[in-house]
Amino acid sequence: MGKQLTGAILALGSPQEKPDIRYQAGFSVPDPVVYVQQAGKKYLVVSLLDRELARRVAPGIQIYSPDALSIPRALRGTLSGWIVGLLRELDLRAVTVAADFPVRAADQLRRAGVRLLVADGPLMPERAIKTCVEVDRIAACQHAAVQAMREAIRMIARARADKKNRLRIRGRLLTSEHVRRAICRVLLDHNCAGEGTIVACGEQAATPHGVGHGPLCAHQSIVIDIFPRHLEHGYWGDLTRTVVKGNPSPTLKKMYFAVKAAQAAALAEIRAGVSTRSVHRLTTAVLERHGFKTGLLDGKAQGFIHSTGHGIGLEVHEAPSLSLRPGRLRAGHVVTVEPGLYYFQHGGVRIEDTVLVTRSGYRELSACADVFQV
Amino acid sequence: MGKQLTGAILALGSPQEKPDIRYQAGFSVPDPVVYVQQAGKKYLVVSLLDRELARRVAPGIQIYSPDALSIPRALRGTLSGWIVGLLRELDLRAVTVAADFPVRAADQLRRAGVRLLVADGPLMPERAIKTCVEVDRIAACQHAAVQAMREAIRMIARARADKKNRLRIRGRLLTSEHVRRAICRVLLDHNCAGEGTIVACGEQAATPHGVGHGPLCAHQSIVIDIFPRHLEHGYWGDLTRTVVKGNPSPTLKKMYFAVKAAQAAALAEIRAGVSTRSVHRLTTAVLERHGFKTGLLDGKAQGFIHSTGHGIGLEVHEAPSLSLRPGRLRAGHVVTVEPGLYYFQHGGVRIEDTVLVTRSGYRELSACADVFQV
C-alpha cells in the first residue's frame, strides 16, 4: 500500500475510536492511549485509570503509565509527552503514523525532534486480511443482519396499503422509524447495535445516505441497509435489500434487475488476484448495458453514484475499496458487493452482500434471500 | 479557551465522527466532508453522493461539490484538494483547525501555501453552552438512562443468591451480559443505543472502564454506568448507580457514603462562575476526609482515580472538564458529576448524575432514585 513504512509505527487515540489500536490492544476504552510497535514488539502508554484493565486484557503488550516515563517538562500532562517519553525509552527517533494522526501532536513531536513519516495507505495493512476469528465475528454480525432483514421484510409484507398508498399494520401507519426500531431490536438480541440503519422509501431512497423518515408507501422501492456493529468485539456486518410492497413501475423493475445482474457479475469476478478496479468497472458496465446512465440529471447526481463495495472489519468502511482506486483482491479480504441505482423520479435500488474473498472465488458470510415484490 | 482563533475555521471528516461538523451541518453521513466557517457564513464541500441530502437538511450552509471547485492538479481526488479549492473560492489563506485535524491533510495544505493555526482548546467552544433544544435532547437521553437503570436495578433486586453467592433469577445465573442486554432494550424503546454500558461486579468494578462480564454476585458492589446515545440526533446522556444485593462489607458501605457525600458536596458547589478545578478539589477533599486515599496501592492505581465530571453533548466526553485543568462553569454547560472510589480488595463505587449549570446552581436533567442495598 504505497510508501514503504519505517520499522516503527505510532498510533494515538482512544481504542474505541481508533480501530488500529483496538486491533492491536484488543480492548476498547474511551480515553486516549499511545501505541508503538517495533520489531514485532508492542507497547502501550495508558493512564493510571486504564492500566489494570490493559494489563489484564492485552498480555502480549508492554504497558507503561506516564509516571514511568521520562517526559520533557514542556510536554508534561500532554499526550505528546507520553509519546516522547516512550520513544526515548525505546531509543526511537523516527516513526510512521497514519494519515489521520492529529496535527497538534504531530507538530509537537516534530518540534521535539521526532521524525514523522505519514503512511500513504493504511498504517496496518495487515488488518485487511482477516483471521478466522475475525471472519467468524463479521459472519456473526452478518447473521444478525439477515435475521433483522427478515423481520423488516415480514413487517412490510404484512402491511396493507390505504387509499393514499401508505402502508398500515392493523390500521396504524408503518413508518421508517417503526421498521428501524424492529431491526435494532433483533440486532440487540444478537448483541449488536444498529445505529444508522437505513429504511428509506421512494424519493428518500434516491439519496444513498439518507436514513429515511415517515410513512412507507406501496408501489415504491424501500431500501433497507443494515450494518450491525457487535457490542462486545466491535466488528461490523453490512447487508442491503430493496423491496416493493405492491406493484413497482416498469422502470423500477428494470432498475432492480439491472442491479441484480450487476451484483451477480461483480460476484462472479471476485477472487484473489483480481483488480478491485476491474470489478467496479464491470459493475458499471453492466448497469450501463441495462440502459442506466450515471451523472448530473436536473443538476443532481443520479445513477450509480457510489463504489461497488468496500472492505469491512473493525471499521464499517475500510480497505480494500472496490472503486476506481487501484488495488488487488487478496484471499482473506472481506468486502461488500453493493451496486445501486438512484433516480429522484423513480427511487433507489441497492443490493448488498458481504463476502470473504478466497483463492478461487468467494464465500458468502451469511445467506440472505433476495425478494423484490413482497 | 486559550489562543485567539483566526476568523476562519476549517474542519475535515465525516459528520458521523466529527461532532464539530455534525453540530454545524445538522446531518450525519459516514463519508468525509469539508467544513469552513468565516464571518458568520458556513460552507460545506460534500461528495456528489451526499450533495442532495446536504442541500435538503443544511439549508443555512452553502454546499459545494468538488467538481464546482478549482483544485490544483496535484491534489485532485484528495480531500486536501477539496479544501484548497474551497479556500481559493473564498480567498482565504489562513484557517484555524482543531488539534485532531489529520496530519496528512495538514502537511498537504501547508505545502500548498495555506497557513494553519491549531486551536489550543475546542475549535467551537460555543458547543459547550447548550441551547434549549440541545438540553432537551440530552434530557431525553437521560430519561432513557433512568428508565433503563430502573429496569437493571429491578432485575438485581429480584434475583436470589445461590450457595456460592451468585445471583440467579428463576434458577438461571444473572450475568453482566443479561443486565446489559435488558438495559439496551429499554434504551432502544427510547430510540437510544447503549454501546459500552457498564455492569461490573466485585473486582471488575474496580477498573472504571471495564464493562463487566459473567455472573453477578451478592454482597459485592455492582457499578451500572449507562450512557445512551440517541439514534437520531446523536446527543448523549450519562448516569451511574452502584448497588449491592445482600449485605455490603463495612468498608464498602463507608465507600458508598463517602462517594454520596462527595457528590452532594460537588453538586452544592455547582453554579455559573465557579472554577471547575475547585469543584474537583472539593470532591477529592470530601473523599479524603472520609478516610479514602488515592494513589498506587500494591502497584495499582486505586482510590478516586478519575475526574469529578465532564461536559456532555454530541460527545460523551467534551468541555468543560471538572478536573485539575483550569476552567470556569458557565450557565448552559451540561456536566456529569461522578465521584467514585476503586479498591481491588473492596470493589468500586460510582454515583453519577448529569446536570445543567444555571446562574444560581444547577438543574437535574432527569431524576433517578439512588438506592444502595437492593
Question: Which of B48, B184, B188 shows the shortest C-beta gap to A305?
Answer: B48
- Does the distance separating the beta carbons of A30 and B196 come in below 8 Å? yes
* Domain boundary, last residue among B77, B111, B127: B127
CB pairs under 8 A between A and B: 126
Q: Are residues B91 and B148 in the same domain?
A: no
The angle that helices B103-111 and A103-111 make with each other, rounded to 10 degrees, is 70
Mean pLDDT confidence for A166-177: 97
Residue B283 CA: distances (Å) to CA of B255, B290, B309: 13, 11, 10
- What are B296-347's pLDDT values in tens digits? 898 888 999 999 999 999 999 999 999 999 999 999 999 999 999 999 999 9
Q: Are residues B232 and B95 in the same domain?
A: no
CA distance B67 to B54: 16
B184 part of a folded domain: yes
Where is A371: in which H helix or E strand?
none
Task: Work out the pLDDT band at A4, boundaries 50, 70, 90.
Answer: very low
- CA A374 to chain B, closest CA, distance in angstroms equals 27
C-alpha cell at B8: 476562519
Question: Which of B104, B184, B210 shows the shortest C-beta gap to A99?
Answer: B104
Q: What is the pLDDT of residue B108?
A: 96
Mean pLDDT confidence for A266-292: 98
Is the peptide bond prior to B320 cis by the omega test (within 30 degrees of 0)? Answer: yes
Residue A371 CA: distances (Å) to CA of A63, A245, A308, B206, B357: 51, 11, 21, 51, 53
Task: Please say whether the beta carbons of B312 and B354 come within 8 A.
Answer: yes
What mean pLDDT value characterizes chain B? 94
Task: Work out the pLDDT band at A6, boundaries 50, 70, 90.
Answer: low
CA distance B319 to B120: 13
Q: Tell me which of A34-43, A57-66, B241-250 is least confident.
A: A57-66
SS3 category, B13? strand
The whole-model pTM stands at 0.90
Residue B3 confidence (pLDDT) above 70: no
C-alpha cell at A198: 437505513
Q: Which of B25, B230, B235 is nearest to A177 (CA)?
A: B230
B246 part of a folded domain: yes
- What are B265-292's pLDDT values in tens digits? 999 999 999 999 999 999 999 999 999 9
Q: What is the pLDDT of residue B11?
A: 98
CA distance A344 to A51: 53
Q: What is the pLDDT of residue A3?
A: 41
Q: Which of B226, B197, B202, B229 is nearest to B214 (CA)?
A: B202
Q: Which residue has the higher pLDDT, A355 or B48?
A: A355
CA distance A316 to A337: 13
Residue A48 confidence (pLDDT) above 90: no
Task: Please say whether the beta carbons of A315 and A236 come within 8 A.
Answer: yes
Phi, psi of A234 (to 5 degrees): 85, 0
Q: Are residues A95 and A140 in the same domain?
A: no
Which chain A residues are Cβ-neighbours of B102 within 8 angstroms? 99-103
- What are A30-40's pLDDT values in tens digits? 889 999 999 98
Q: Tell me which of A160-164, B45-49, B180-184, B353-357 is least confident.
A: B45-49
DSSP annotation of B46 = -
- Does the distance separating the beta carbons of A195 and B49 come in below 8 Å? no
- What are A232-248's pLDDT values in tens digits? 899 999 999 999 999 99
Q: Are residues B230 and B341 in the same domain?
A: yes
Q: Are residues A85 and A141 in the same domain?
A: no
Question: Which of B48, B99, B177 shows the shortest C-beta gap to A104?
Answer: B99
Which chain B residues are Cβ-neighbours of A231 within 8 angstroms? 180, 184, 195-196
Q: What is the pLDDT of residue B58?
A: 84
Is the peptide bond prior to B19 cis by the omega test (within 30 degrees of 0)? Answer: no
- Does the distance separating the beta carbons of B97 and A101 come in below 8 Å? no
Which chain A residues are Cβ-neighbours of B52 within 8 angstroms? 206-207, 300-301, 344
B2 part of a folded domain: no
* Domain boundary, last residue among B127, B153, B183: B127
Amino acid at B169: I
Q: Are residues A285 and A239 in the same domain?
A: yes
Q: What is the pLDDT of residue A76?
A: 86
Burial zone of A73 (CB within 10 Å; 0-12 exposed, 13-18 middle, 19+ buried)? exposed
B3 part of a folded domain: no
Mean pLDDT confidence for B224-237: 95
Q: Are residues A234 and A305 in the same domain?
A: yes
Structural domains counted in chain B: 2
Mean pLDDT confidence for A23-32: 89
C-alpha cell at A319: 480497505
CA distance A253 to A244: 10
SS3 category, B225? strand
Which chain B residues are Cβ-neighbours of A185 within 8 angstroms? 185, 188
CA B125-B127-B129 angle, 5° bins: 95
CA distance A291 to A299: 20
SS3 category, B108? helix
Where is A89: in which H helix or E strand?
helix A79-90
The angle that helices B132-158 and B176-189 make with each other, rounded to 10 degrees, is 140
Q: Are residues A165 and A72 in the same domain?
A: no
B17 part of a folded domain: yes
Q: What is the pLDDT of residue A280?
A: 98
Q: Which of A329, A123, A371, A341 is nearest to A244 (CA)?
A: A371
Q: What is the pLDDT of residue A1?
A: 38
- What are A201-211's pLDDT values in tens digits? 999 999 887 89
Residue B355 confidence (pLDDT) above 80: yes
- What are A68-92's pLDDT values in tens digits? 999 999 898 899 999 999 999 999 9
Task: Please say whether the beta carbons of A219 and A243 come within 8 A.
Answer: no
Question: Whole domain around residue B161: which residue ranges?
Answer: 129-364
Question: Which of B52, B101, B193 shows the shortest C-beta gap to A300?
Answer: B52
Residue A300 confidence (pLDDT) above 90: no
Question: Which of B184, B316, B344 shows the shortest C-beta gap to A30?
Answer: B316
Q: Are residues B54 and B186 in the same domain?
A: no
B160: domain CATH number is 3.90.230.10
Residue in chain B nearest A18 by alpha carbon: B17
Which chain A residues are Cβ-neighbours of B105 within 8 angstroms? 99
CA distance B110 to B242: 51
B100 part of a folded domain: yes
Residue B364 confidence (pLDDT) above 90: yes
Burial zone of A244 (CB within 10 Å; 0-12 exposed, 13-18 middle, 19+ buried)? buried
DSSP annotation of B81 = H
CA distance B1 to B323: 15
- What are B73-127's pLDDT values in tens digits? 989 889 999 999 999 999 999 999 999 999 999 999 999 999 999 998 999 999 9
- CA B151 to chain A, closest CA, distance in angstroms equals 16
* Domain boundary, last residue among A75, A105, A127: A127
Residue A30 CA: distances (Å) to CA of A21, A104, B196: 12, 20, 9
B59: domain CATH number is 3.40.350.10
